[in-house]
């Protein structure tokens, strides 16, 4: 898989300030090429920077054009559009903590000697001062040899809580029963238009309509389709849709 910065990435990062203590920044679109499978597609990934109570958290950093270093790096799983050892290395500083599931942990142990790694699995909770990070299951509901995200891999999404705010980054997943217990969410960062890889746009809208967060941030989709419009048409209630791809 070849991944480079997309020519459609805006010159300035797209940010959203939820309140005085929480700011979300999209690291921006990338261009993905997989010979014979994906031909240079412009893609909005699941890569974000979250500034929360004076701490900087990167989630699945990918092709990051950023000088700021991370206090925490959260990796959902080991696929290349979520797990970039080069980006992780560039974001490290003294004291950076990396939280990651088993497959990522195993790989990082080999390439980042001495890094502060926290192995996680669904259901684990880690607290750091004002910030609590809970790992939530992330998997495809259909199982088989070609399942992209099998439940057995123990991949995760992350529920980040601080000062009464709750932001849920779903990772690569279908709409699964474990999500239904998540309540009083400030924001959901959800994949859409997933085909066989993640939840469909319709399922993402169903998730939002059931959990009713204040905001939803769609992620992990190809640019230039009608799927954002589809999402907007399907979401009911007062949830505000935040589009961060810069298009």
246 is a domain residue: no
> What is the count of structural domains for the chain?
1
pLDDT at residue 5 tops 80: yes
Residue 1 has pLDDT above 80, yes or no: no
Residue with tokens 């509901």: 141
DSSP secondary structure letter of residue 16: E
Phi, psi of 162 (to 5 degrees): -165, 130
Q: Lowest mean pLDDT of 141-150, 222-231, 236-245, name the range.
A: 141-150
Mean pLDDT (the chain) is 93
CATH code of the domain containing 94 = 3.60.15.10
202 lies in which domain range?
2-241
Residue 19 counted as domain residue: yes
Task: Confirm whether 18 is domain-assigned.
Answer: yes
Q: What is the pLDDT of residues 44-79, one digit of tens each?
A: 999 999 999 999 999 999 999 888 899 999 999 998
Of the pLDDT bands very low, low, confident and very high (cuts 50, 70, 90), residue 36 is low
Residue reference for tokens 């810069």: 246
C-alpha distances in Å from residue 161, one per residue of 50, 60, 167, 184? 12, 18, 6, 11
pTM, 2 dp: 0.95
The C-alpha atoms of residue 88 and residue 76 are separated, in whole angstroms, by 13
Q: Is residue 145's pLDDT more than 70?
A: no
In a domain, 247, yes or no: no
């Amino acid at each position: 898989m070849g991944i480079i910065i997309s020519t459609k990435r805006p010159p300035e990062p797209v940010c959203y300030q939820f309140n005085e203590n929480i700011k979300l920044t999209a690291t921006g679109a990338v261009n993905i090429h997989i010979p014979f499978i994906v031909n240079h597609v412009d893609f909005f990934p699941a890569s974000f920077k979250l500034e929360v109570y004076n701490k900087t958290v990167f989630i699945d950093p990918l092709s990051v054009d950023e000088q700021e270093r991370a206090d925490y790096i959260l990796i959902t799983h080991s696929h290349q559009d979520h797990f970039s050892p080069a980006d992780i290395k560039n974001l490290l500083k003294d004291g950076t903590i990396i939280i990651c599931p088993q497959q990522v942990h195993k790989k990082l142990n080999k390439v980042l000697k001495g890094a502060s790694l926290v192995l996680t699995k669904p259901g684990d909770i880690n607290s750091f001062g004002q910030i609590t990070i809970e790992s939530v299951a992330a998997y495809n509901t259909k199982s088989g040899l070609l399942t992209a995200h099998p439940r057995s891999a123990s991949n995760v999404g992350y529920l980040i809580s601080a000062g009464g705010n709750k932001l849920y980054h779903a990772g690569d997943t279908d709409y699964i029963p474990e999500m239904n217990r998540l309540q009083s969410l400030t924001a959901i960062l959800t994949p859409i238009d997933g085909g066989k890889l993640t939840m469909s746009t319709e399922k993402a809208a169903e998730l939002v309509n059931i959990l009713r967060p204040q905001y939803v941030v769609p992620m992990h989709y190809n640019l230039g389709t009608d799927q954002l419009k589809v999402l907007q048409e399907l979401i009911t209630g007062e949830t505000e849709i935040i589009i961060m791809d810069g298009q």
